[in-house]
Amino acid sequence: MKILNVKSRSRDEFIAITEEIQQVVSSAGVIENGYCILFVPHTTAGITINESADPSVKSDILMMLNALIPREAGYRHLEGNSAAHVKSTLIGVSQLVAIVHNRLELGTWQGIFFCEFDGPRNRKVHIHLFDS
């Protein structure tokens, strides 16, 4: 297992981490065919795969998440970050990506994003690699 450290700068933010994860895969040696499991050990963050070519997609997703899950909505959780917990639950905290010929098997426009919902913070992504 490797740990990727991620530093967010905003309350809500999608941070591209595809290149960093590919570097971990490449440095692990030759994995002809296998899997990369990504896990975010935080209750107010997540991880997703989506379009990485047009930055407005990230903005659109965050805009809709904020519209659907407002920061203030009469939540009972006393820390004031319930919206972040809900967003994390909806986005999810793990992703499974195939590895083919030592490369992450992503679509042409796909990228991997760390999703911050309670920043700015220092965060971690756990990376587990398996050769099949």
Ordered domains of the chain (ranges, CATH): 2-131 (2.60.120.460)
pLDDT at 30 over 90: no
Tens-place pLDDT, residues 95-120:
999 999 999 999 999 999 999 999 99
45 CB contacts (<8 Å, ≥6 apart)?
84, 88, 93, 114, 115, 116, 117, 118, 121, 123
Place of tokens 């971990």: 24
pLDDT at 23: 97
Tens-place pLDDT, residues 39-80:
999 999 999 999 999 999 999 999 999 999 999 889 999 899
Q: What's this model's pTM, rounded to 2 decimal places?
A: 0.96
